Structure 1
Amino acid sequence: MEITPMIRTEIDRYLKQHGISLTEFGHIIELNVGTVSGIVTGNKSISVNQLDRITLGMNLPPDHFYERYVEECIKEPSLNWRKVKPFLYRCIELGRLDCLQRVVSMLLDNTMAIHISSLFELAEDLFQKGYKDAAVYLYENVAESERKQHAERLAICQYRLFTIRIGKDQTQNLQTAARFEPFIDRLDEIDQLDALKDLANVYRSLSMWDKVYKFSRQMYKLGQIQYDLAQYGKQEIKPGQKLSRPLFVYIAYAELLCAHACDATGDHERALEHIRGYTDLSWVREQDPDTLHWLGLFQRWAQINTYINRLMTGDVSVLSDYVEHISGEKHVFNELLNIIEAANKYNIDVDHILRHFEPKIESYQEPSPIEPFLLQQQARFWYKMAKYSFNKERHAYGFKCLIDALEKAVTINNVLLIANCVGLFLHFKTHAAPGVQTRFQSMFEEVWERNDKKDGFNLSDS
């Protein structure tokens, strides 16, 4: 078996082969001769900064010695964090997660509480700086080390993992949300507000309305308590802790989500009660620009959602006012989805409205990297448009809409939407041209191959 030479041995060999003295090499790498001599003779430990200078001076890749550095310089009984920390940062910058993992394993084997705390602080810093892969590894290991504890740090790790792992795949999102749920009550109450908001939004994207309602109500009650405490100067916020929105927003947004959940499940009367809950925000005392901005948003949302609520109960008389209200808006995608949904539900002819918004509707067919909830809404829109077109016997356009819906549903792996698209296709299959049938068959096979090894699906959609 070939024996890998030690770092100092390889440095010494390089200097001899190139006829470079210690003094000359010190000038090249900007280290004094005593330091270079101490490193080469083994009488002085080497820092990662010194190692990087030496590697650069030898014209080697920056991470050339990193594996050996772990074994020769990091693997010590004391495991000095002042020495370990800079090395871990360099591993992350250079993409050497293997070396990071090796050092973390050593630290955790040491079982010192200070190492757990240090790794958690490092994870938090990496999370803020966008090094998500490294942060995930650290959070997972810190959480595993504290799995039998009920400490807030464990809950924060789980919250960060939840935040990082939410993506386009709805099946994965459901698993991620379910895994995080048990930890939400262990968070500090200030952090709970954002966590409840995020969790409710994920369940909203999954159309799991009972969950949306449950966590929105929790956010509402907690928000009220914290707002009252803040008014009396009794709210305690830790150093560096900050809400992502003004405090009153969590209360009003909870009402909005509850209204959305009730409308989605057909309880329109109850939904209207929640809409009133964020229509009147006269109790908000702050008058700063950020607060005024949010107050304006809730006023607009309340007006629009009141129209929607009446429309979904069959009050077609509000349709013209609703269309007039949204005509000046830049983005009307969700509003058009409501119109199509009502048209299908109550057999309303909305062709004139679709022609009015035709340029915007065409723009919604363009692919765009958007969040899962909006992708789901797009898939639902084109599915509803397909149904509307088929009912109007515009079969060619209906199949075009259905292909768009299926493609987006597959992108986010929303299984019920996929099933709905398949069912709608099969119902109108006899009207499909041969090329359309071939296209759908190819897409069905892709879906089957993707999910063949999965046990089943448990997502729901309105």
Structure 2
Amino acid sequence: MQLKNTIQAKLDAYLKIEGITINQFAGISGVNSGTLSSIINGNRPVAVKQLDRITTGMGLPEGELYELYIDEYVVRSTPDWRRMGPFLQRCAELDKLECIRQVVRTIMDNISYAQAVFEMGEEWFAQGKRQAAALLYEGVAESEKYQHSERLALCQYRLFKIALGKDQEANLRAAMHFEYFVERLDEVDQLNALKDLANIYASLHRWNNVDVIAEAMGRKASIQYQNRYHKVSRRAVSKETGRPLCFYILYSHLLRSAVCAERGDYGQALQYVSRYSDFSWVQERTEEARQIMEQFGEWAGANTYLYRLMSGETAVLADYVEFISTREGEIITGLTKIIQAANRFGLNVDPIIECFESRVEFKEQRTRMGKRNVQVTEDQSAVLLYELSVYYLKTQRVHRGLVYLFQNLDLSVRMNSDSGIVGCVALFEQYRHLSSVEDQERYKILIGEVQKSNEKKIGSAAGNR
């Protein structure tokens, strides 16, 4: 007769094959002999700690019996959260993502589990177990997709944050999907969500989106600021924003100045600079608020030089160089804009490049307020490489220009940036006749990587039909 594929059957068979008594196995596993006897006889459910000890006692890898546990206590029984909660925790610790997926898919047929599953997702998200947390958020979101609830919107916000990475197309899809849910968040979470969305659209050069989102963030933050600090009957604060409220108002102005600059409207950009360099209205008196004002004041100084330079006031170049030379966090942005100005106005900035070249590191950037958005940082690196390649190619230093162009093309492929790839291809074709055989061979290899990437996209799209 074939043995049942259950935990108790596996354990019973193991004891018989090994010739071990229950009392002996109790000593090996650390599980009470009475408990073991009840488990084998099917009179007692197995707790996850007991299952782990039994698994180790049998000499099996951690989590080896988890699929059987799911079959017995989730699929074939009424799930008990007191048992499922600890089990899911262990699955997350062991990175058993498929087990988590199976449990969530089954138990979320009962929407009463939604709050417990969501709270566990929040715990894992805070602990950095983001892929495991994503499975919980997806389960809750699927079960509540017709509810239009704040919890659904929070799940989508977390999934948006988890989805962000180096792939620009994937980031765009995540942003466009999440944007629909922003208005369902509470007013505090809306500010953080709008900030995150604006940063992603900025990294993708979607400036119209940035403008709309920045305006909404500033407007909503201003209303909250008025309610908190200026109304006679001030509203009680039930939840704090991630940063002092003044940050969101100032950051809205900074984003909108960047949008104007990208559109070539440097006069309007400077108007916004004057708004985020004015702190006379700020009511917060915390250390964090002080650092925020210092950081925005520094950005205002840098961008005043920058926008004047980009509008043709090349006389400010020396002052701008001196300004960024003492501020490590501004070097990549500053050097990029200096080279853009050089390309636009035909300036010779070789000494400036030589001065900063050894200090340019494409790594995580920090400000007084913490880490800069990773996607924005990578995009800045790509733009700098492109501008350097244009600068050297326009001055007939072809080999050096192509070195930077190939670095940019390689980065654009890794970022899955179609616009970056197209820009590099167009620039290379413009100067192909001046390139060496070695340069053309290197270009061919990189284009091969582009083709592989496109084949993966086509295959993925076909598989999703």
Instruction: Work out whether the TM-score is over 0.5.
Output: yes
Give yes or no for the alignment of 1:86 onto 2:86: yes
- Tell me if structure 1 keeps the 8 A contact 2:413–2:450: yes
2: CA distance, partners of 1:287 / 1:236: 17
- Tell me if structure 1 keeps the 8 A contact 2:244–2:284: no
Counterpart pick for 2:391 among 381, 388, 392: 388
Query: Which amino acid is the alignment partner of residue 92 of structure 2?
Result: I
Q: 1:420 to 1:17 in 2, by over 3 A?
A: closer
Partner of 1:207: 205
2: CA distance, partners of 1:365 / 1:19: 59
State the TM-score, normalized to the length of structure 2: 0.91
Query: Which amino acid is the alignment partner of residue 230 of structure 1?
Result: R
State the TM-score, normalized to the length of structure 1: 0.91
Look up the SS of the partner of 1:379 in the other structure.
helix
Give yes or no for the alignment of 1:193 onto 2:191: yes
1: CA distance, partners of 2:282 / 2:154: 30
Deviation at 1:76, TM superposition (A): 4.8
Partner of 2:425: 422
Partner of 1:318: 316
- Tell me if structure 2 keeps the 8 A contact 1:372–1:412: no
- Tell me if structure 2 keeps the 8 A contact 1:226–1:235: no
Deviation at 1:135, TM superposition (A): 1.6
Q: 1:26 to 1:336 in 2, by over 3 A?
A: same
Deviation at 1:138, TM superposition (A): 1.9
**Deviation string, structure 1 residues 396-452 (Cα, Å, up to 9, x no partner):** 211111112211222212211211111111111111111001111221222123124
2: CA distance, partners of 1:167 / 1:365: 15
Partner of 1:290: 288
Give yes or no for the alignment of 1:346 onto 2:345: yes
Deviation at 1:77, TM superposition (A): 4.7
Partner of 1:237: 238
Query: Which amino acid is the alignment partner of residue 25 of structure 2?
Result: F
Partner of 1:68: 68
Equivalences, count: 447
Partner of 2:124: 126
Deviation at 1:72, TM superposition (A): 2.1
Partner of 1:409: 412
Counterpart pick for 1:147 among 145, 148, 152: 145
Q: 1:359 to 1:94 in 2, by over 3 A?
A: closer
Partner of 2:99: 99
Query: Which amino acid is the alignment partner of residue 104 of structure 1?
Result: V
Partner of 2:450: 447
2: CA distance, partners of 1:449 / 1:36: 55
- Tell me if structure 1 keeps the 8 A contact 2:74–2:107: no
Q: 1:273 to 1:338 in 2, by over 3 A?
A: same
**Deviation string, structure 1 residues 18-42 (Cα, Å, up to 9, x no partner):** 4443334334333333222211222
Instruction: Report percent identity of matched pairs.
Output: 40
Partner of 2:375: 372
Deviation at 1:140, TM superposition (A): 1.6
Q: 1:21 to 1:273 in 2, by over 3 A?
A: same
Look up the SS of the partner of 1:44 in the other structure.
coil
Partner of 1:44: 44
Deviation at 1:146, TM superposition (A): 1.2
- Tell me if structure 1 keeps the 8 A contact 2:3–2:9: no
Q: 1:41 to 1:345 in 2, by over 3 A?
A: same
Look up the SS of the partner of 1:286 in the other structure.
coil
1: CA distance, partners of 2:16 / 2:351: 85
Deviation at 1:65, TM superposition (A): 1.9
For structure 1, the 5+ residue unaligned runs are 456-462
Look up the SS of the partner of 1:213 in the other structure.
helix
**Bigger relative CO (Cα 8 Å, ≥ 6 apart):** 1
Deviation at 1:2, TM superposition (A): 5.9
Give yes or no for the alignment of 1:271 onto 2:274: no
**Deviation string, structure 1 residues 272-324 (Cα, Å, up to 9, x no partner):** 11111101112112222211111111111001001111111111111111111
Query: Which one is further off, 155-164 or 401-410?
Result: 401-410
- Tell me if structure 2 keeps the 8 A contact 1:15–1:21: yes
2: CA distance, partners of 1:416 / 1:138: 34
- Tell me if structure 2 keeps the 8 A contact 1:376–1:408: no
Q: 1:141 to 1:5 in 2, by over 3 A?
A: closer
Q: 1:433 to 1:2 in 2, by over 3 A?
A: farther
2: CA distance, partners of 1:329 / 1:421: 30
2: CA distance, partners of 1:61 / 1:350: 62
Partner of 1:157: 155
Deviation at 1:228, TM superposition (A): 2.3
Query: Which amino acid is the alignment partner of residue 64 of structure 1?
Result: E
Partner of 2:14: 14
Q: 1:4 to 1:439 in 2, by over 3 A?
A: farther
2: CA distance, partners of 1:295 / 1:61: 54
Look up the SS of the partner of 2:59 in the other structure.
coil
The 4+ residue runs of structure 1 with deviation greater than 4 A are: 1-4, 363-366, 452-455
Look up the SS of the partner of 2:358 in the other structure.
helix
